[in-house]
Amino acid sequence: MNTIGILTSGGDAPGMNAAIRAITRVALAKGIKVMGIQRGYNGLINGEIFEMGRDSVSDIIQRGGTVLKTARSEEFRTPEGREKAANMLRIFGIEGLIVLGGDGSFSGAQLLSNEHGIKTIGIPCTIDNDIAYTDFTIGFDTAINTVVEVINKLRDTSASHERVSIIEVMGRRCGDIALHAGIAGGAECVIIPEMNFEFDSLCRSIIETKVLGKLHYIVVVAEGAGKAQDIAERIEKCTGVQARATVPGHIQRGGMPSAFDRLIATKFGATAVEVLVEGKSQRVIGIKDSKIIDIDMNEALSIKKTVDKDLYHLANNLSI
Ligand code: ATP
């Protein structure tokens, strides 16, 4: 392996830069040339490719987002688009491609391997933690820390006004951000798409805990399970207690990556290079039971994400 390429694709996630840095430095130390590809698969198709030196990744470990920029590419979904991408890889002499993104980006990498024989490795980056084969994706830990900070702030104002606060968090169809941040932030109720939820029980709990003297009541809802504003209106109507909705939105995707995200990003990046050097292809890197793993991309894509039901019940049993 003489030359590898790196691209970031799909939604950005804090920690992507730490992975780019690790890939670049580990590869250079092995005498491998590194090419950075800008704007995901779109940039690959358009030849937005440049050689990276050790200085290209200086001072980025602490920065959120991705210095390579990211994009979604409709053209890459077509066989013609992937053919153009494969040609670009050939022109620039790139033998192995490391793709940082979510499962969509991995599907694209798999097709590129199958159709054009390019060696590809995937690194899971998404704040949603919705990729089943790995316990954690890069960006998730930073996102839950951001949400916990929001909950801490809402707690103050919620307690002062004796209001219910509903916070709607990201995650699409995955409830991990809501569940983990809800527990860490001490929320009274967590609503996620994977589990049924009874609105009447929530209202009863709000009334009962108010009678017991609780000053605040924090509800964390995953975006795939409902809208904070709708829930706030329904709570007010049903209980007579004031309720306010907060949607932190895209701030969950930004910010300085946590130490944990930087650490796994560095380990994932280094492992990706090692796996490519071993001559493997269509592998994805992850972490399982605290061990760094690499598994077959096809197998990884077929595993269905499930929610930790014990954690969910624990979250909702703590509001007594
Ligand atoms: P996120 O979790 O942040 O959404 P993702 O990698 O799942 O990340 P997608 O938008 O699904 O995000 O995919 C990113 C890009 O990967 C797409 O814009 C497209 O170029 C490519 N891609 C996704 N799915 C496929 C597919 N089935 N075939 C070919 N290319 C794909």
Q: Are residues 263 and 121 in the same domain?
A: yes
Q: Is residue 185 part of a domain?
A: yes
Q: Strands 217-222, 189-191: parallel, antiparallel or unpaired by DSSP? A: parallel
d(CA 223, CA 125) in angstroms, rounded, equals 19
pLDDT of amino acid 178: 98
Question: How far apart, in whole angstroms, are the C-alpha atoms of residue 102 and residue 178?
Answer: 19
For residues 117 and 18, give the distance between their C-alpha atoms in angstroms, rounded to a whole number.
28
Distance CA 113, CA 309 (A): 37
The predicted structure's pLDDT at residue 263: 98
DSSP state of 257: P
What is the CATH classification number for the domain harbouring 124? 3.40.50.450
User: Does 105 reside within a domain?
Assistant: yes
Tokens, residue 82: 């992937």
Q: Can you tell me which atom of ligand 1 is nearest the CA of 13? A: 3
32 and 78 assigned to the same domain:
yes
User: Which run of H or of E encompasses 49?
Assistant: strand 49-52
Do 52 and 24 belong to one domain?
yes
Q: Is the CB of 122 under 6 A from ligand 1?
A: no
Any bridge partners for residue 99, and if so which?
7, 122
Starting at the edge strand that comes first in sequence, how are the strands of the sheet with 243-246 ordered? 189-191, 217-222, 164-169, 243-246
Domain that holds residue 284: 3-139+257-302
pLDDT at position 214, please?
Answer: 78
Give pLDDT, residue 320.
64
User: The CATH number of the domain where 239 resides is what?
Assistant: 3.40.50.460
| Residue 230 falls inside a structural domain | yes
H/E run at residue 186: none
User: Cα(281)–Cα(35) distance, rounded to whole angstroms?
Assistant: 18
Residue nearest to atom 18 of ligand 1 (CA): 72
* Domain stops at, among 236, 253, 270: 253
162 and 126 inside one domain: no
Please report whether residue 231 resides in a domain. yes
Residue 310 within any structural domain of the chain = no
Same domain, 62 and 192: no
Is 278 annotated in a binding site? The answer is no
Residue 125 and residue 152 in one domain = no
Are 166 and 228 members of one domain? Answer: yes
- Name the domain count of the chain: 2
Q: Has residue 308 been placed in a domain?
A: no
Is 105 labeled as ligand-binding? yes
d(CA 236, CA 233): 5
**Ligand 1 contacts CB of residue 73 (under 6 A):** yes
Query: Looking at the structure, do residues 18 and 128 belong to the same domain, yes or no?
Result: yes
Residues 10 and 124 in one domain: yes
Contact 171, 147 (CB under 8 A): no
If asked whether residues 16 and 117 sit together in one domain, one would say yes
Which of 12, 128, 130, 261 does the annotation list as catalytic? 128
- 150, 195: one domain: yes
pLDDT in tens, the chain (320 residues): 999 999 999 999 999 999 999 999 999 999 999 999 999 999 999 999 999 999 999 999 999 999 999 999 999 999 999 999 999 999 999 999 999 999 999 999 999 999 999 999 999 999 999 999 999 999 999 999 999 999 999 998 887 878 999 999 999 999 999 999 999 999 999 999 999 999 999 999 999 988 777 778 999 999 999 999 999 999 999 999 999 999 999 999 999 999 999 999 999 999 999 999 999 999 999 999 999 999 999 999 999 999 999 999 999 888 66
Is residue 307 one of the residues assigned to a domain? no
How confident is the model at residue 162, as a pLDDT? 81
- 14 neighbors 103 (Cβ within 8 angstroms): no
Tell me how far the alpha carbon of residue 72 lies from the centroid of ligand 1, in angstroms: 7
pLDDT of residue 212: 79
Does residue 312 belong to any structural domain of this protein?
no
pTM as predicted:
0.96
Are 219 and 271 in the same domain?
Answer: no
Q: CB–CB of 127/205 below 8 Å?
A: no
- CB of 11 within 6 A of ligand 1: the answer is yes
Instruction: Quote the pLDDT of residue 161.
Output: 79
